[in-house]
Amino acid sequence: MKATRGATSATLKKERAMRQVGFPKTILPLSEVIGAGARFAFAFGVLLVVAVPFGFYPSAYALLVVPIALVQLTLTTGVAFFISALNVFFRDAAKIMNYVFRMGFFLSPALYPASFVPDKFRPVYDLNPFVTLFDAYRAIVMEHSMPDWSPLGIVAGGSIVALVLGYLFFVRLQKSFAKLV
C-alpha cells in the first residue's frame, strides 16, 4: 500500500524533470514500487529474526515468500501505474486512495485471521486479493506450512492482468503529463 501511495504522487513530484529531460515516465512509479519491495525484503528478514524469541523459528517454508512477494509486487505495480496516471488528471486521486487503502487494510486479514469472517460474507470478502496474500504469508511464517496455491494462482493471474492494463493506461496517458503538471 505504501508503494502505491508513493507512486501515486511520484509523477507530480517530478514535474520539473518531466519538462526538462526526456525519459520514460514509467520509471517514476516503478522506482517507488521497487524501493518498497527492497524495504519489504529487509523487513521480512528482520521479522524472521525477531520472531525467534516468541517461539516462531524460521523454516524452509520461509523461502516460499519469494513467489508470494512477486505476486504482491506485480499487483502493486499494476495498481501504481494506473493510479499515478490518474492522479495527474485528478489531483484528489491520491487523497481518495489514502482512504481506500486504509479501508482495504481493515478489510484484509492483517490483524485477524480470515477464519473470523462469517461464512455469509466470505464470497465477497475473498474478492480482496490481500486476503489470499496475507493467508499465504501467515501459512509460511506462523504455521510452517504450504500456502493454498490455487487461490494464489488466481491472484497471480489477476495481478498480471492488472500490471498489463495499468502499464498500458499509464503509457497511453504519459504524453499528456508534461502539459498538465
Where do the structural domains in the chain lie, given as residue ranges?
A: 2-180
User: Which carries the bigger pLDDT value, residue 59 or residue 73?
Assistant: 73
Selection from 86, 126, 80 nearest residue 101 by Cα: 80
d(CA 129, CA 155): 6
Residue 148 and residue 135 in contact, taking contact as beta carbons nearer than 8 Å: yes
Q: Which three cell numbers stand for residue 141?
A: 511464517
Instruction: Record the pTM.
Output: 0.84
Kindly report, residue by residue over 69-84, the tens digit of the pLDDT: 999 999 999 999 998 8
pLDDT value at 29 more than 70: yes
Selection from 169, 161, 159, 165 nearest residue 70 by Cα: 159
Find the distance separating the first CA and the last CA of the chain, reported in whole Å: 24
pLDDT value at 181 more than 70: no
d(CA 162, CA 145): 28
Question: pLDDT grade, residue 47 (50/70/90)?
Answer: confident
SS3 of residue 136 by DSSP: helix
Kindly report, residue by residue over 135-178, the tens digit of the pLDDT: 999 888 888 889 999 999 999 999 999 999 999 999 998 877 66
Residue 64 and residue 24 in contact, taking contact as beta carbons nearer than 8 Å: no
Question: pLDDT grade, residue 58 (50/70/90)?
Answer: confident
pLDDT at position 48 is 84
pLDDT at position 43 is 92
**Ramachandran class of 55: left when φ > 0, alpha when ψ lies in -120 to 50, beta otherwise:** left
